[in-house]
Amino acid sequence: MIKFDHVAKRFGRLHVLHDVSIELPEGECIALIGHNGCGKTTLIKSLLGMVLPDAGQIMFQNQDVKQGFQYRQNIGYMPQIGHYPENMTIGQVMDMVKNLRNGQSKTDMELAEAYQLDKLKDKPMGTLSGGTTQKVSAALAFLFDPKVLILDEPTAGLDPLASEILKEKILKERSKGKLILITSHLLSELDDMVSRILFMKEGRIAFFLSVEELKAKAGENSISKCIIHYLKMGHE
Amino acid sequence: MIRITKYVLADILRNRILLAYCLLLSGFSWTALSLEDSTAKGVLTLVNLMLLMVPLMAVMFSTIYIYNSAEFIELLVSQPVERSQIWTALFLGLGSSQGMVFLVGMGLPLLVFVHESVSLMFLITGFLISWIFCAIGFLAAVYAKDKARGIGIAILAWLFFALLYDGLILFLLYQFSDYPIEKAMVGVVMLSPIDLARILLLLHLDVSALMGFTGAIFKSFFGTISGMVLSFAMLLVWLLVPFSLSLYKFKNKDL
């Protein structure tokens, strides 16, 4: 469904992505894991067209990402740190995004309702706490029932109850056969969610394995232990 | 794109600075026009004031606005919206708000006091200057990642066109006064939107008689229809080139 073909990107002297080639199939819940600064967010942002790769091609449903912008209708993106216009209220931001996508009438308000964003809708974004901003980001990502969900550190900053709600929502969407891409450092959370692990190291893809394969290979029985096993290997 | 422009405009028009700017412009205009005994002198005061204030406000406001809209831009870029639409919508919102404020602030008193062709000329050039310096602000903001640097570039651009370039022209005129450089001066003037606007306006006032031989050359060029058409075309170039450059840069920028 999504195909990266020899994608490379450097920021000045820093080589963030080296020749990344991978295909992400439909219906999987993929965890994107790696050290800080290994290029996870850059990979996601280049898929969204926010970062423009120096070389290579990214295909979304066989359509070059560079050639259009319509493909983004099929993506719900939850950024690591959501930046929103400070003087717009929650309600205005949600309305604006809905308005921009007016071709898509079907909206999924489940998360917005679960987080009771309705009660806060007149609050300016600038006055919100980090956690509430994350709730807005999450609600926006799921709002249009997209085929692909990209969640960059979704539970960071959310309180336990809110992150539980989000996890349940992710599982529900996964069961509908959506492609879900999650980056997270909270490995214990991933255990019951993900079906595949994409491990990145210094701008390269170290491996892309299903959970079963990974467990067999590392000889451990939980994802977090497997990952720690590989992270440590990287340090040696 | 129109949808985004509406959001941008709604946001800008809520800005109190813009209201203060509008009041300032109209305060100056009403006093200048009611204090001077002849309208020509009043308009001359307004010309000088406009050529100083309007570009400064347009370039500063647009540069700072772009930096402050970083979040807005980031939010839109991850949505199914084309980048060029976002940038153009921002430009339309800023340019039209600056232009409107100018028209309300200076245009209203002018239409009340002055009933000559010069007021129409004044309004058109001032409107264009607002847009041109918005475009220059956009260019500064898209090229400099750092806010302080971007604003610095914007101020320098204003300083150059509003003050330094004038000095440069005077210097050239004195240094080469023995040579027939009047025709070359027409070309030199075209390279600064503010000077171009100034000459277009001065030639419509009686004071152009004071400008001597150079004034006569200017009049023989800028006074004709084809000269005026060329001047306005040049002002449009000054609007479109900086904006297109900024648009190109924005489309190829990492956010």
Give burial (CB, 10 Å; 0-12/13-18/19+) of A106: exposed
Residue B103: what pLDDT?
95
Encode chain A in three state secondary structure: CEEEEEEEEEECCEEEEEEEEEEECCCCEEEEEECCCCCHHHHHHHHCCCCCCCEEEEEECCEEHHHCCHHHHHEEEECCCCCCCCCCEHHHHHHHHHHHCCCCCCCCCHHHHHCCHHHHCCCEHHHCCHHHHHHHHHHHHHCCCCCEEEEECCCCCCCHHHHHHHHHHHHHHHHCCCEEEEECCCHHHHCCCCCEEEEEECCEEEEEEEHHHHHHHHCCCCHHHHHHHHHHHHHC
pLDDT band for position A21 (cuts 50, 70, 90)? very high
Q: What percent of chain B has pLDDT over 70?
A: 96
Residue A105: what pLDDT?
65
- Considering only the beta carbons, identify the residue of B3, B71, B81 that sits closest to A84: B71
- Per-chain mean pLDDT for chain B: 89
Instruction: Give the whole-angstrom CA distance, residue B134 versus residue B128.
Output: 10
Cβ contacts of A72 on chain B, cutoff 8 Å = 78-81
Q: How many helices (H) and strands (E) does chain B have?
A: 13, 0
**Whole-prediction pTM value?**
0.89
Residue B232: what pLDDT?
92
Mean pLDDT of A88-99: 89
Q: What percent of chain A has pLDDT over 70?
A: 97
**Whether the predicted pLDDT of B202 surpasses 90:** no
For chain B, list residues whose CB is within 8 angstroms of any CB belonging to chain A.
3-4, 7, 11, 14, 69-72, 74-83, 252-255
- List pLDDT tens digits, range A154-211: 888 889 999 899 999 999 998 988 999 999 877 777 877 888 989 888 889 988 888 8
pLDDT band for position B245 (cuts 50, 70, 90)? very high
Long-range contacts for A165-173 (Cβ within 8 Å, ≥24 apart)?
A165/A111, A165/A114, A165/A115, A166/A111, A166/A138, A167/A193, A169/A110, A169/A111, A169/A114, A169/A138, A169/A142, A170/A29, A173/A142, A173/A149
pLDDT band for position B209 (cuts 50, 70, 90)? low
How far A92 CA sits from the closest chain B CA (Å)? 10
Domain count along chain B:
1
Instruction: Give the whole-angstrom CA distance, residue B144 versus residue B150.
Output: 5
Residue A104: what pLDDT?
64
Least confident of B135-139, B217-221, B244-248, B249-253: B217-221
Determine the residue type at B3: R
Q: Do B79 and A70 touch (CB under 8 A)?
A: no
- List pLDDT tens digits, range A106-133: 788 889 899 999 899 899 988 999 899 9
Residue B178: what pLDDT?
84
How far A140 CA sits from the closest chain B CA (Å)? 10
How far B90 CA sits from the closest chain A CA (Å)? 14
Residue A99: what pLDDT?
87
Mean pLDDT of B123-143: 96
Q: Do B11 and A73 touch (CB under 8 A)?
A: no
**Whether the predicted pLDDT of A52 surpasses 70:** yes
Determine the residue type at B16: R
Q: Which residues of B120-145 are buried (b: 16+ CB within 10 A; e: fewer)?
A: ebbbebbbbbbbbbbbbbbbbbbebe
**E strand or H helix at B183:** helix B182-190
Instruction: Give the whole-angstrom CA distance, residue A17 versus residue A43.
Output: 8
Q: Which two tokens stand for residue B28?
A: 């100056």
pLDDT band for position A27 (cuts 50, 70, 90)? confident
Q: Are A145 and A118 in contact (CB under 8 A)?
A: no
Q: What percent of chain B has pLDDT over 90?
A: 49
Least confident of A79-83, A195-199, A222-226, B238-242: A222-226
- Considering only the beta carbons, identify the residue of A45, A96, A101 that sits closest to B80: A101
Residue B213: what pLDDT?
65
Q: Phi/psi zone of residue A37: left (φ > 0), alpha (ψ -120 to 50 degrees), beta?
A: left
How far A82 CA sits from the closest chain B CA (Å)? 8
Mean pLDDT of B214-230: 79
In which domain, by residue range, is B63 found?
Answer: 2-251
Mean pLDDT of B19-34: 92
- Per-chain mean pLDDT for chain A: 87
Cβ contacts of A14 on chain B, cutoff 8 Å = none
Any idea what DSSP says for residue B161? I
Q: What would the DSSP string read from start to end of B102-123?
A: HIIIIIHHHHHH--SHHHHHHH
- Considering only the beta carbons, identify the residue of A11, A51, A85 that sits closest to B72: A85
Residue B139: what pLDDT?
96
How far A59 CA sits from the closest chain B CA (Å)? 16
Residue B112: what pLDDT?
87
CATH code, A25-41+69-235: 3.40.50.300
Q: Are A148 and A179 in contact (CB under 8 A)?
A: yes
Mean pLDDT of B48-54: 92
- Is the C-alpha dihedral spanning A18, A21, A26, A28 positive or negative? negative
Q: Do A100 and B79 touch (CB under 8 A)?
A: yes
Which neighbouring-strand residues pair with A209?
A197
Determine the residue type at A82: G
Residue A23: what pLDDT?
92
Residue A236: what pLDDT?
53
Q: Do A85 and B3 touch (CB under 8 A)?
A: no
Task: Supply the ipTM of this predicted assembly.
Answer: 0.85
**Whether the predicted pLDDT of B129 surpasses 80:** yes
**Whether the predicted pLDDT of B63 surpasses 90:** yes
- Residue ranges per structural domain of chain A: 25-41+69-235
Report the 10 Å Cβ neighbour count for A17.
27
Instruction: Give the whole-angstrom CA distance, residue A40 versus residue A201.
Output: 9
Instruction: Give the whole-angstrom CA distance, residue A38 versus residue A32.
Output: 11
**Whether the predicted pLDDT of A234 surpasses 70:** no
